[in-house]
Structure 1
Amino acid sequence: MSGDETVGPLGDSVGYALKRAAAALRGAMEAALRPLELTVPQYACLELLGQRPGLSNAELARGAFVTRQATNGVLRGLEERGLVTRPGTAPHGRALPAELTAAGRELLRSASTAVRAVERRMLEPLEVGRQERFREDLAACTAALGERRLEGP
C-alpha cells in the first residue's frame, strides 16, 4: 500500500478538519444557546419547525441529525415548555405533525439570532465571496457522498 492510499497526517485530512470545525461550531452554538436554556438539538427542531411547520418526528430527526428516539425526547421537552404543540392523535397515518407556539416563535427569533452570530464569527476570516464559495463547496462535497439536503420552504 502506498502512502497515497492512506489518510496520512491528521493535519492534512479533510475529514479531520471538518470534524474539528463541526465540534468548534457545536461548542460555540451550545454556549450561545445556554442563556436561552436550549440545547443544539432543541434549537435545530425549533428552526426546522419555524421554516417548515408540521414536520413529523421522522422528518425532524433527519433534519436535526439525531435519532427518532432522541427527537421524541426533544419534542416532549419543548412541548412541556409550551414552545411546540402536537395533536393528540395523528391526522393521518402515525405521524404527529409539530408546530411552534407563539412562545416558540419568540424564543426561536432569539436563538436564531444567537446562532447566526456564531456563524458570522466562524466565517469572519473569509472574504464575502469566499464565504459563499465555502457553502457551495460544502454542499458539493455532501452531494458527492450521496447525502440528501433538507429542502427549504
Structure 2
Amino acid sequence: MPPKTSAAAPRNRTAQQPAEGSVHAVSPMRLSYLIGQLDRIVSRRLSETLARHGLTLPQYTALSVLRARGRSSNAQIAERSFITPQAANEVVKTMEANGWVMREADPMNRRVVLLSLTKAGHALLGECDAAADHVEGAMLDDMDAETAQKLHALLHACVRNLRAA
C-alpha cells in the first residue's frame, strides 16, 4: 500500500512541486510546451539582435525566404514567413523603401508582382546571419557538433511530419 501524504500538506501544489513524501511523480514538461517556450525565447533574442541592424524578425525571415527561394510573390513570402498577407504587405513596403528588395512583374502572370533581393538586401542579410549564428550558438552552447546536427535533423523531421499530417 502506498504511503499516505500528510493531511496538513497544502492543496495548491503544482505538478512541478509535489508534496514531500508524495507518491505522485513529477510529470516532465510536454514537448509541445518546451518547443513553444524555445520559440518565444529564440524570437525575443533574434528580435533584440536584429534590431541593432535596423531589421525586424519578420523582415529577416522574408529576406531569408527570398534568398532561399529566389523571386517570390507577396503571398509566398507571407506563407513562408508565417505572417498574414496584410503583414507581409507592410514588411515588403518597408523593405522596398529601404532598398533591400525590388519588385517586378511576373512574366507568366502580369497581375502577380515578384520580389527579389537587391545587393543591399544580400549585404544586410549577411550581417544579420552572423547575428543569428550568435543566438543559435548560445542556444547550442553545451552541445557537441554531432548532438547539434542530430537536434537539427530531428526538428526538421518534426516539421515534415506535422506538415504531412
Q: TM-score range by the shorter chain?
A: 0.7 to 0.9
| Residue among 64, 70, 91 paired with 2:107 | 91
Q: How many residues align?
A: 140
Q: Which runs of 5+ in 1 are unaligned?
A: 1-7, 149-153
Cα distance in 2 between the residues matched to 1:43 and 1:101: 14
Deviation at 1:132, TM superposition (A): 0.9
More strand per residue:
2
Q: What TM-score does the superposition give when structure 1 sets the normalisation length?
A: 0.83
Deviation at 1:95, TM superposition (A): 2.4
Give the residue type in structure 1 aligned to 2:80.
G
Deviation at 1:143, TM superposition (A): 2.3
The answer as to whether partners of 1:47 and 1:112 remain within 8 angstroms in 2 is no
Structure 1 41/147 Cα, relative in aligned 2: closer, same or farther at 3 Å? farther
Over the matched positions of the two proteins, sequence identity in percent amounts to 29
More helix per residue:
1
Match status 1:59 vs 2:72 = no
Deviation at 1:63, TM superposition (A): 1.5
Q: What TM-score does the superposition give when structure 2 sets the normalisation length?
A: 0.77
List per-residue Cα deviations over 1:45-67 (Å, max 9, x = no partner). Answer: 11111222211112111211111
Larger relative contact order (Cα-Cα within 8 Å, sequence gap ≥ 6): 1
Structure index of larger Rg? 2
Tell me the SS of whatever aligns to 1:29: helix
Tell me the SS of whatever aligns to 1:12: coil
List per-residue Cα deviations over 1:104-141 (Å, max 9, x = no partner). Answer: 11111101111111111111122211111111111222
Cα distance in 1 between the residues matched to 2:106 and 2:157: 37
Tell me the SS of whatever aligns to 1:99: strand
Structure 1 73/11 Cα, relative in aligned 2: closer, same or farther at 3 Å? farther
Cα distance in 2 between the residues matched to 1:105 and 1:120: 22
Tell me the SS of whatever aligns to 1:82: coil
